[in-house]
Structure 1
Amino acid sequence: MDKEKLIQEAYLVSHKLEENGNIPNNPLYPLMIYKGAFLIHPDDEIEVIKTVFAKNGYTNAWIDGIFDYHHYHSNTHEVMGVYCGKADVQFGGEHGVCIELDKGDVILIPAGVAHKKLKSSDDFQVVGAYPKGADYNIKYGEANERPQADEDIAKVEKPDSDPVYGSKGHLFECWYNQNCENV
């Protein structure tokens, strides 16, 4: 894999998502969408995304789509890279934001931020992974999940590296320096 051909400078879109009913979202960190982070060529295998994430400390990877119901992880952040297709995904719960994800986009989802696929092309496929290979839980926005979920979210540490750019990148601008535009 020629990293320089695969990784390109992404346009960052970020959203600070407030609590939404029984969905806690994340009071500290915005959702980050790296538009066009990967230039995926027709002969690239899906493993190229998994390899970049692993090199930057994001492992316990899976390959699939995105669930078509609101869910979140209270014990870890999550990164997803779109390998193929496109989808409309709602982040933040029932009254959250809807983002169109396309091939090559990367999404960094803070612990507590709900996500749900609304619709997608038939070929939509993502690679998901977690900082330091964390085992993730799944929460559904049910009232009985809180306040424990809030306590768990507060304990999740910031990742040591950006999922795409490693020791540099948008993660440090937004989550460490709080220097990103929240749309």
Structure 2
Amino acid sequence: MASRVITYDIKPTRLVPNSPKPLLLYKNCFIRDGKVDATLAYDTFKKNGWNAQWVTTYGHYQRSHYHPATHEVMVVLSGPGTIRWGTADLNDDPQKHTYGIPGRDYEGGGAFVNVDAGDLFVIPAGVAHKSFNPKTPNPDPECLTGGEAHRIESDDPRKFVGELKVSGFTMMGAYPQSMSWGWAEGGAHVGRYQSVWDVENPKLDPYFGDKGGINIYWNRRSASLRNC
């Protein structure tokens, strides 16, 4: 089981909706014999109604983006790496929007989180994120599972994921059943953030199922907002 849960309140910015619901980080998930058991992660997500759609190894850069119509779970299969949460890129130069000056090359604020194997993030719709690895020689992310990162291209996705040899900063991502991710960047929903915040909560947490996780941190928050 995860050893602890860490929450991040990611406030809206001028360009990014983020969410009234907290970003959740579960530490030390799916660790067996000193490494992440990807098959166990795949099975747990599926049991709880979340479908794994991609495994990706990250490079030096990624555009900051968010998913406006679905929540997401990402688990770090190997690391270390870095994720910047909650802010939009302001410069088209990948070197600058990743490693440049806050307030000029990307929005200031947000949260930089250094991650390693076993870190699992449950991400509310609208929360901006970009994942990168300053230590790799590869510039761009590489999806290891095909399907344009919307599905795992294999007759047996479970076996395929379990047999992948991963290195560097690699994560697996999954989404509630019947949902698939859409890509939006800063500014796309200015003036209509509420449509992103209103995305329905999943029935089960991708890791804890019907106890813990979103059942505590999201459902109670949603009830509190309805009663205001």
- TM-score bracket for this pair, using the shorter chain length: 0.7 to 0.9
TM-score if structure 1 supplies the norm length?
0.82
**How far apart are the structure 1 equivalents of 2:172 and 2:185?**
21
Partner of 2:163: none
Normalization by structure 2: what TM-score?
A: 0.67
AA in 1 matched with 2:190: R
* Counterpart for residue 54 of structure 2: 62
Match of 1:134 in 2: 179
Pair 1:80-2:94 in alignment? no
One-letter identity of the residue aligned with 1:112 = G
Aligned residues between the structures: 168
Q: Give the equivalent residue in structure 2 for 1:41.
A: 33
Q: 1:33 and 1:44, CA in 2 relative to 1: closer, same or farther beyond 3 A? A: closer
Which whole-Å deviations, capped at 9, do the CAs of 1:9-63 have from their partners, x for residues lacking one? 3311111111122011012x00000011221436865333222111111115211
Q: Distance in 2 between matches of 1:108 and 1:164?
A: 9
- Runs of at least 4 residues off by over 6 Å: none
Task: Give aligned-pair identity as a percent.
Answer: 31
Range with greater deviation from structure 2 (39-48 or 169-178): 39-48
**Distance (Å, rounded) in 1 between the aligned partners of 2:198 and 2:72:** 15
**In the alignment, does 2:114 pair up with 1:100?**
yes
Q: Which residue of 2 aligns with 1:5?
A: none
Provide structure 1 residue ranges, at least 5 long, that are not aligned to the other structure. 1-7, 179-183
Distance 2:189 2:128 in 1: 13
* Amino acid aligned to 2:70: T
Deviates more, 1:84-93 or 1:36-45: 36-45
Specify which of 198, 205, 222 is matched with residue 155 of structure 1: 198
Relative distance call for 1:44 and 1:21 in structure 2 (3 A) is closer
Partner of residue 15, structure 1:
8
1:172 aligns with 215
1-side partners of 2:218 and 2:36: how far apart? 31
Highest CA radius of gyration, 1 or 2?
2
Alpha-carbon RMSD across the aligned residues, in angstroms, is 2.1
